[in-house]
Amino acid sequence: GDFWRLVLDDGERVEMPVFSRRQKGRAVREGENRLRIEYDEVKTEYGDTYPVRFVLAVEKRGELLAFEPTVANRAKGVRVNECFAPLVSFDGVAGAKKDDIIFMPKGLGQRAGNPYAKMESLAQFYYNHDQHETFWHQPYPRASMCWFGVQSGDKFLYVSRQDPEFRYCFLTARHTIKGGDLMLGVDHWPMATEGETLAYAPTVVGLLDGDWRAGADEYRAWAGRTFYKSAPVCADERIRRMTGFSRLVLKTSFGEDCFKIADIPEMYERTKACGLDGLFLFAWWRRGMDRYYPDYVEAYPGAFDELKRGLDEVRRRGGFTILECNFTFMSKDTPFWRAHGPETVMHDMWGEYVSPAFG
């Protein structure tokens, strides 16, 4: 099987798989516990060879092995879209396969018994490298945490990317159709064009004693060492003590007034009675909710002065307010759009304007 894969794209063939089992590389030792596996070029399943340098560093860290991939693209007209590294292939772990359980960090956690049978029941995709496999992807950071694994007997096969920058990736489980295997790994998204070199944070793999809780403990220990290093970014003691806020829409998108600016102090008192100390104000401008971005025009002469007095009163009573502002969406009937819209609007990959839909 493979212990890494790449997916290349030349603009016409956007899924050109590179399988590690078909490559020629070399191993270089770097001390007692570290090894570098290097490839100066890669060969796709179409038979083409490209000057894409790939390096996978492997280091022993206690019970875990850490894998650090680096992609250096020197190929003209070719992009490296995906980097699966590592892939951990196995046909059973420590217990009976039918009793194994895979754990995924979806929401509060998702589990599936006998993952081999589950993966066999899925439909394959039609891409070149996927037509013989099924897969289960969990995108991170949409996932709640960046670890997953398989509980088997009295062991837990643990996989986690330890990236303090929280870069996008897929936690992926793959399975060969009509085979008995699973492959666990991490799919990075370098999207590396010619001349780019990208290195990724380590993915650690280990066979831990215990059940899924051993994996949770391992991830929690890493998070505790990593997530909380920076000093508090907010020096305002009131904000640090905030208990929450209520969301207040002054005017709907279809023009109906829900509240008046003069209602702000009263709405704060209602919010305070619920144990919250803030107001999050939407549609405080003339046109209403999600309209006329990014031009904020007062509803009537003196409205913004009245708004300021209302905010000051909330602050005087010990609360806080947040004014919603949006500089991503733009309404096409605004002066801002007419002056700057075409040069500042977001485009999709086909060159079309990105238009949000609400529903």
pLDDT of res. 359: 41
Rounded CA-CA distance 339/98 in Å is: 64
DSSP, collapsed to helix, strand or coil, labels residue 270 as: helix
d(CA 314, CA 277): 9
Q: Each residue's pLDDT tens digit in the chain (359 positions)?
A: 789 999 999 999 989 999 999 999 999 999 899 999 999 999 999 999 999 999 999 999 998 999 999 999 999 999 999 999 999 999 999 999 999 999 999 988 999 999 998 888 887 665 546 678 888 899 999 899 999 999 999 999 999 999 988 899 999 998 888 888 899 999 999 999 999 999 999 999 999 999 999 999 999 999 998 887 666 566 567 777 889 999 999 999 888 999 999 999 999 999 999 999 999 999 998 888 888 777 788 989 999 999 999 999 999 999 999 998 876 777 777 888 888 887 888 777 788 877 766 54
Q: Is the peptide bond before 86 cis (omega within 30 degrees of 0)?
A: yes
Predicted structure pTM score? 0.66
Question: Backbone dihedral region of 229: left (phi > 0), alpha (psi from -120 to 50 degrees) or beta?
Answer: alpha
**Closest C-alpha to 250, from 306, 315, 317, 334:** 306
Residue 357: per-residue pLDDT: 60
Q: What is the pLDDT of residue 234?
A: 62
- In the DSSP assignment, the letter for residue 354 is -
Token code pair at residue 290: 């999600």
> For 184-207, b where at least 16 C-beta lie within 10 A, e where not — what string?
bbbbbbbebeeeeebebbbbbbbb
Q: Which residue has the tokens 């305070």?
A: 272
Instruction: Check: CB of residue 287 under 8 Å from CB of residue 295.
Output: no
Q: Tell how far CA 58 is from the center of its chain.
A: 24
177: CB partners within 8 A, 6+ apart = 120, 124, 132, 133, 134
The closest alpha carbon to 205, from 92, 95, 98, 62, belongs to 62
Could you give the C-alpha distances from 259 to 247, 282, 302, in angstroms and in order?
Answer: 12, 11, 17
Q: Give the length of the chain.
A: 359
Q: Which two tokens stand for residue 324?
A: 């919603």
| Coil/strand/helix, residue 183 | strand
Tokens of 137: 């992807």
Task: Tell the burial category of 350 from Cβ atoms under 10 Å away from its Cβ (0-12, 13-18, 19+).
Answer: exposed
**Coil, helix or strand at residue 125:** coil
Q: Alpha carbon of 197 to those of 139, 163, 207, 254: distances in Å?
A: 23, 18, 32, 50
**Helical spans, DSSP H, in 274-326:** 303-316
Helix (H) or strand (E) holding 300, with range, is: none
- Measured CA to CA, the distance from residue 31 to residue 106 in angstroms comes to 38
Judge contact between 331 and 292, C-beta under 8 A.
Answer: yes
Asked if residue 282 lies in contact with residue 292, where contact means CB atoms within 8 angstroms, the answer is: no
HSE (side-chain half, CA atoms, 13 Å) at 72? 9
